[in-house]
Amino acid sequence: MEIYQCLKELNIKYDEIEHNAVYTIEEALKEDIPGKIHGVECKNLFVKGKKGYYLIVIEAHKRVHLKELAHLVKESKLSFAKEEELETILHLKIGSVTPLGIIYDKDHKVTLLLDQELQQKRILVHPNTNTKTLSINFEDLIRIINTTNHTYMMF
């Protein structure tokens, strides 16, 4: 519910659909979620390094190069965070990873790494559950990031 409260307080307009639970981007594409709601399907990965946690948001069809991103954030290497860390920090479960989870990161442990090609687009994100998808403007995601005082980098 906090997600919807945040969207309301920031006066963020969104479209929403309910669907079967999806746990991977491949399942979301099989459900044809992008065909039912306008926006770019995104892959969201929660990773960590020695210096902190990172939430990668990238267009679904692209490959993630952790080595290059590690260099960008000045980490020796990045690896996938544990499920318990995902639940504790972002209140998320595997299959429902979303950049909107940052509203639960009150200690600002997470830096967002955002695909620069998402700018000026509508993106599809889960509202912390993998049975719903929201379509929001990328600029509104940036507003949420700034409002929650999180750091982000474009790549």
| Structural domain boundaries enclosing 113 | 2-154
- pTM equals 0.94
Per-residue exposure over 126-153, b if at least 16 CB sit within 10 Å of its own CB, e if not? bbbebebbbbbbbebbbbbbeebebebe
The two beta strands, 110-114 and 79-80, are: unpaired
Query: How many distinct structural domains can be found in the chain?
Result: 1
H or E segment and range at residue 125: strand 122-125
Which CATH number fits the domain that encloses residue 54? Answer: 3.90.960.10
| pLDDT tens-digit map of 109-153 | 999 999 999 999 999 999 999 999 999 999 999 999 999 999 999
| pLDDT tens-digit map of 13-41 | 999 999 999 998 888 888 888 789 999 99
Please give the mean pLDDT across all residues of the chain: 95
